C-alpha cells in the first residue's frame, strides 16, 4: 500500500509540473503549437494520475476513502 501511495504522489507531482509549465507558456504568450503540446502532456499526466489514484484506492479500508478523496481534490 505504501508503494502505491508513493507512486500516486509522484504522478500528482508530474501533473502539477505539467500544469505549471502550461500556465507559464500561457502567461508568456508562447505560440499556440507550444501551448497545444503542453496541453497534450497535461492530459496524459492527468490520465496517469487518475490511474495511479484508482490503484491506490484499491488498498484502502472504507473509513480511509474520504480522506484520500479530499487529498485528490486538492
d(Cα 11, Cα 58) in Å, to the nearest integer? 17
Per-residue pLDDT in tens (0 to 9) along the chain, 74 residues: 678 778 888 999 999 999 999 999 999 988 999 999 999 999 999 999 989 888 877 776 666 766 666 666 66
Please give the grid coordinates belonging to residue 68.
484520500
C-alpha distances out from residue 57 to 13, 20, 21, Å: 18, 26, 28
Cα end-to-end distance, the chain, whole Å: 21
Inter-residue contact 59 to 51 (CB < 8 Å): no
Q: What is the pLDDT of residue 72?
A: 67
Amino acid at each position: 500500500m505504501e508503494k502505491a501511495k508513493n507512486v500516486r504522489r509522484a504522478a500528482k507531482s508530474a501533473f502539477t509540473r505539467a500544469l505549471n509549465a502550461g500556465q507559464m507558456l500561457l502567461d508568456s504568450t508562447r505560440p499556440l503549437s507550444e501551448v497545444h503540446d503542453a496541453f497534450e502532456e497535461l492530459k496524459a499526466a492527468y490520465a496517469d494520475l487518475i490511474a495511479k489514484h484508482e490503484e491506490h484506492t484499491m488498498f484502502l479500508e472504507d473509513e480511509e476513502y474520504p480522506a484520500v478523496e479530499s487529498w485528490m481534490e486538492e
